[in-house]
Structures are given as structure tokens and as C-alpha cells.
Chain A
Amino acid sequence: MEKVPLLSVENLNVEFSTPDGVVHAVNNVSFAVESGETLGIVGESGSGKSVTASSILKLNSGVTAKTQGAILFNGRDVLGADDKTIRSIRGSEIAMIFQDPLSALNPYYTIGNQIIEAYRVHHRDVKKSAARKIALEMLHRVGIPNPEARIDEYPHQFSGGMRQRIVIATALINSPKLLIADEPTTALDVTVQAQILDLMKDIQKENGMAIILITHDLGVVAETCDDVAVMYGGRIVEKATVNELFLTPTHPYSFGLLGAVRSLDNSARGELQTIAGSPPSLLHLPSGCSFLPRCGYAQQNLAQCSSVVPELEKVSPTESFSACHLRTEALISLKMKELA
């Protein structure tokens, strides 16, 4: 019998109507996360990764957003839940942190008040003084030096890295089972990024929470994730374990992305590997595979690639899933020819 995953997202579709037309931000996205594991959702800007993340907590529910599909947390339906239920999940069982630590904290309240507020929303009977003690412990845990002195300071009195620690403290104050981190280190310097990633990993080791890490940085994925979903044009194009993605990528977009990153990382001067063209507009997605205009492998299969959206299918002999009409064997032989 298969275990029920902590979170499963099935056939998620999100659309936004804008004056220019309907933006198909997320199309048929499915994935699952287990306790204690880290799932990376990687993609470039406009790939739909952030919208996918916000959907889990129903944070997209503006007038213009239309969400379809199913999101099950611990077997419970999240998408269909009423406001009260979703509020009881937000911040207590599923917490979320955002990209820019400089703007994620309310500038008008002390950091202590914000953490205490986050705790007491879900623990109404706990007195403020008791919650303050818990907040102090948490600040200490995330590495804020001298928390007793600093708990009554305002966000602008902290550096970017410290603010992200405070954001993490706020998010983790109720010991959530799942943390959604939307580009948590993108706005930070590399040395600070290393600190924050270490902190997240340490806390995960302690309390066994699951993490969904949204990022555009394959290096961050390689260092922190167990599984990865690669998104392109609002769809998942490849789903694999980290090792498989980096050693045996199965989708042409993954090839290109890895190639670009690797040539940037490793080789010295000389022509860098790129993916020609730019990502598709979510307003006008191509009718077939959305990567087709940038794909270097589709020549023999143009008819199918340009008319049918490829499904995410398991690619033997790997454990990876790939959304590409060209089967892996064909792809690998093409790749070989190219390298020769």
C-alpha cells in the first residue's frame, strides 16, 4: 500500500485574466512532497514556479485568478477549503517565506511583535509574555545575536541576512510541517546565502519538516534538494531526483539550462553555452510543446512537437519523468552526435 504524501498537487491550473488577455500561469502541474524531504521547483522568470507555490496556501485568490485542480495536504483538501480552514493551515501547518527579506517584514512593527503575532494567531490562549519567551528562543535558534536586546527593534535596523533569519523565525514559530520558500536567498549575497541555506537544512534535520524550495539557481538546487521539478512555460517539463537531473537530464530544456550553468561555472574564457531565444509569453503559449521554438532536437518530429502538448512520462531506464515527445534513447543518441 502506498503511503499518503504530506502534500500532493494534482493537475493544478492557474489563470489570470488581464487587460491583455488570459495568462496561463500554471498548466496541469502535479507533484508530491514527503515529510523531511526537500523538493526544488526550478525555472526562469515567468515559468509559473512562484504562482504554483502561492496556490498551495491559496494566496493567489484575487478577483482575476482562477485556480483548478486538487491540492491535498495530509489527505485534506486545501483548494476547496473555506476561509477559516485555510487560515488555520496558513502559518501553522504550512508556512511560507518570500524572496525579498527587506520587504517581507512589516516596517511599522517591531520584529518581536510580528513573531508574537504569528504565534498567537494559532495559540489564542497563550499570554503575550509567554509568547515573547517563545519568540526569543526562536530568534536565538535562527542565529540572531543578543535577541533580548534586539527583539524590540524594527526591521530596518537589521541587515538583509538578519532579516531573512527573522522571516524564517516568524515562519517556523508554529513548527509547520511544510515550509514553502520562494527564492529565499536570491536577494542575498552568496556568503549570506550559504548561511541561510545551512540554517534551513539544520532546522529541517531537527524537526523533519518538508521544504518546497522555489529557485532559479541550479546551484542552490544541487546543494539543498532531494527532488526537483523543472518548470517551463507554466508546465513541469522534468521531474527527477537531484542526482538524476544533474547526471542524466532527460528534457532538452534541462540540457540547455545545465549547459549554460556549467559552462558559466567551469570553463574559463570562451564562448558560453546558451539557449537561443527567450521564454514564451504566458499570454500566448504555443499550441504544442512550449519549448519548441528554442529546442535544438525537434527537427525530425516537428509535426507532433508543434501540435501536441507532451505529457509528463516516466523515462526508462532512469526514474525521471520528462515531458518530451522524443524518447530518451532518441534524445541521448542526438546528444551523443552533438558531442562527437
Chain B
Amino acid sequence: MSSEILLEGKSLVKYFPHGSKGIFGKSDGFVQAVDGVNLVLRKGQTLGIVGESGCGKSTLARVLTRLIEPTSGNIILDGRDITKVSGKELQSLRRDIQMIFQDPFSSLNPRHSVGEIIASPMRIQNIVPKGNEKLRVQELMELVGLNPEHYNRYPHEFSGGQRQRIGIARALALNPKVIVADEPVSALDVSIQAQILNLLEQLQHDLGLSYVFIAHDLSVVRHIADEVAVMYLGKVVEIARPEVLYSAPAHPYTKALLSAVPSATPRASHMHSRIVLQGDVPSPINPPVGCRFAARCWKAQDICVAQEPALGSQSFTSQPEEGLVACHFPENSN
């Protein structure tokens, strides 16, 4: 785990003003979408970010890619603080960080041919590839497993999985250092999901890419991530290597999340007792003061409601690499 740090998020915070009251429309609070998140992505590796809807993972993705500006905190790419860059600098930054989106149906302009879609980042950045544009596009199509002869076809002529390949080719067009993938396989059928995940791993291997991989699906992330961060209500509650996280989750929420995933093995499902969480995720407007999970946690004590647990290593005996957890009473700590 000692390869070089490529992308780092330090104390990232993103609040959105919420609603409005009174005649002059003053905001009555903030949606605390991302609230003090620290993340590290190392070169050639994949950082998985997992959480349920409303946990802030997509906002975090947009903050990291500078699609939106954080309320506070810093983003550091390759040793350079990119939190405040703008104008020309921001445009050239876009070459280094590219995104893949969830919905392969709405993220491609239906009126542009596949060739135009894949070439668009190069055109916007005024980059003329070696040889010519068409050659480069066809090379990219081949790289993601599309038939280069389909250069002139339109998105509707492709299946969901193939469209996601088009999205990946577009993201690769500028040779980015980091790819932020926001739920890239959630909208796809199971048999296609595996194809896309294999492709992403193959590309990482061949091109030395680094991924931030966002998903609500634990099993998908397990496959591709070197490290997994679990988010709940704007905070990272646990971060660990997948072998550790999946076999011995330290945070009660991680444990509940893992146990809620239905297993495709009927016998096993009867054996493991499922933790069914009560109630809903609290509102991110004025969230609870102490631990944000306390209200739904079966282990909660007075301290959990009063004091927010810091993200730290879970016990004195464990190695720091084993992971960090934000819980007063983590699992497996004696």
C-alpha cells in the first residue's frame, strides 16, 4: 500500500442551502451532503466509495472532479492544490480527471455519432491526436471492446452495456490520470455488469489508471477496489481494505449493510441472521449531533448520542492498515 499518493481530499465539506422561508427567501438550513471527508487515492489503485442514497457519495464525486466547488477543505492532485483553480487551469485539469456516469442512456447525446461523442473531449480541449482524430477514436473503441467500424453509428443502436463502453472510451480520450466512476454498472443487467467490471480492471492494468469507484452495491466494489470507504449521511464511517471490511466489518452500519445484501445461495441465506435496520436515514438537514448512525444502531449508548466518534484505528492492537472506523463501540474490539 505504499505507492505514491495521486489524489487526496482533505476535510472536504459540501453544504447546499436548503429551502427558503420568509418573504425574502432566506435559507432555513443547509443540506450537509458531505461533511468532513478525508480520502486518499494512490497511483494505479482503486478507491471504492459505498453508501446508500443520500449518503453524499455522488456529491463527493462531483467535488473531487471539481464539477462543484467544496464549501471547505482541499483537493490535492499530484501534489498540487486544485481546490481553487479556475478558467484555463481548470480546463486543463479536466484532462487529468474524467468521469463515467451511471446512466448509459442519458449520458450520451442521442444526436451525435459514437465517433463524435468519443472525440468530443479532444475537440473541446483542442487536442489533435497523432495521426488523426478518427484513428485515435477507433483505437479507443477497440480498447474498450467496441467494433471500430461502428464509428458512425448512433447511441440508440447500441445496447446498455455497449453504451457504457462508449462512455468509458470518451473518458479515456484525454489519457486522464484519475477516472471517477459514479455507479457505472448500477443500471446494467448482471451478466453485463461483470463484463464492464472486467473491462475496467483490464484498462487499469494496461494503462495504469487510478479509479475512484462509487457504488451502492457492496459486491461490485469488493471486486475492483483496493480500499473501500463506507459513507453514511455525509461522513465516512469506515475505511478499510476489502479483505478486512468484508470479512470483519468494524462499524455496525457496515455490518448491517453487508448483511442486507441478499445472497444468491438459498441455504446460506437461511443460516446467516440478517440485520434489518429500523426506520429511515435521518435528514441531512441538521443531522444528529453525536454519531449520525446512533438512532438506528443496536449498540448505541449515551455517549453515541452526545459525542461524535472520530475516524480512527479501531483498537490498540490492530495495525493501522487494517482500517479506520468512526464508532465508539466497534465490532470485533474484544
Contacts and interface: CB of A to CB of B under 8 A. Distances in A.
Contact of B194 (A220, A242, A263): A263
Interface in A144-164: 145, 159-162
A191 B191 contact: no
B265 A273 contact: no
B9 interface: no
A340 interface: no
B262 A219 contact: yes
A278 interface: yes
B190 interface: yes
Contacts of A159: 280-281
A19 B324 CA distance: 57
Q: Secondary structure of the B side of the interface?
A: helix
A189 interface: yes
Select the residue from A193, A198, A260 with max chain B CB neighbours within 10 A.
Answer: A260
A249 to B, nearest CB: 11
Interface in A173-202: 189-195, 197-198
Interface string B202-230: 00000000000000111110111000000
A59 B295 CA distance: 42
B189 interface: yes
Contact of B189 (A216, A223, A242, A272): A216
Interface in B274-307: 274, 276-277, 279-281
Contacts of A258: 264
A205 to B, nearest CB: 15
B145 to A, nearest CB: 10
B315 to A, nearest CB: 24
Given A193-B260, A268-B243, A272-B198, A261 B266 contact: no
B52 A190 contact: yes
A220 B264 CA distance: 8
Interface residues of B, number: 43
A276 to B, nearest CB: 8
B36 interface: no
Contact of B264 (A191, A195, A265, A271): A265
A262 B263 CA distance: 9
Interface stretch (B115-123, B128-136, B157-165, B173-181): B157-165
Given A190-B216, A190-B261, A264 B280 contact: no
Interface in B136-167: 159-162
B53 A189 contact: yes
Contacts of B261: 190, 219
A265 B242 CA distance: 13
Interface string B186-203: 000111111101100100
B264 A246 contact: yes
Select the residue from A145, A191, A193, A263 with max chain B CB neighbours within 10 A.
Answer: A191
A243 B162 contact: no
B191 A275 contact: yes
A23 interface: no
Contacts of B159: 278-279
Given A162-B280, A190-B52, A272-B197, A223 B216 contact: no
B286 to A, nearest CB: 17
B257 interface: yes
Contacts of B53: 160, 189
A258 B281 CA distance: 32
A257 B260 contact: no
B190 A269 contact: no
A286 interface: no
Contacts of A268: 222-223, 242-243
Select the residue from A161, A217, A246, A263 with max chain B CB neighbours within 10 A.
Answer: A246
Given A44-B191, A260-B191, A218 B264 contact: yes
A243 B266 contact: yes
B262 A264 contact: no
A310 interface: no
B256 A191 contact: yes
A161 B264 CA distance: 23
Interface of B: 52-53, 159-162, 189-195, 197-198, 201, 216-220, 222-224, 242-243, 256-257, 260-267, 269, 274, 276-277, 279-281
Interface of A: 44-45, 145, 159-162, 189-195, 197-198, 216-223, 242-243, 246, 256-258, 260-265, 267-269, 271-276, 278-279
Please name the 10 residue pairs, one residue from A and one from B, whose CB atoms are nearest each other, closest first: A219-B262, A189-B52, A44-B189, A275-B191, A272-B194, A274-B194, A194-B260, A218-B264, A278-B159, A190-B260
21 contacts: A44-B190, A189-B53, A190-B218, A190-B257, A190-B260, A193-B260, A193-B262, A194-B262, A195-B276, A197-B262, A219-B262, A243-B266, A260-B190, A262-B265, A264-B220, A268-B222, A269-B201, A269-B223, A272-B197, A274-B195, A278-B161
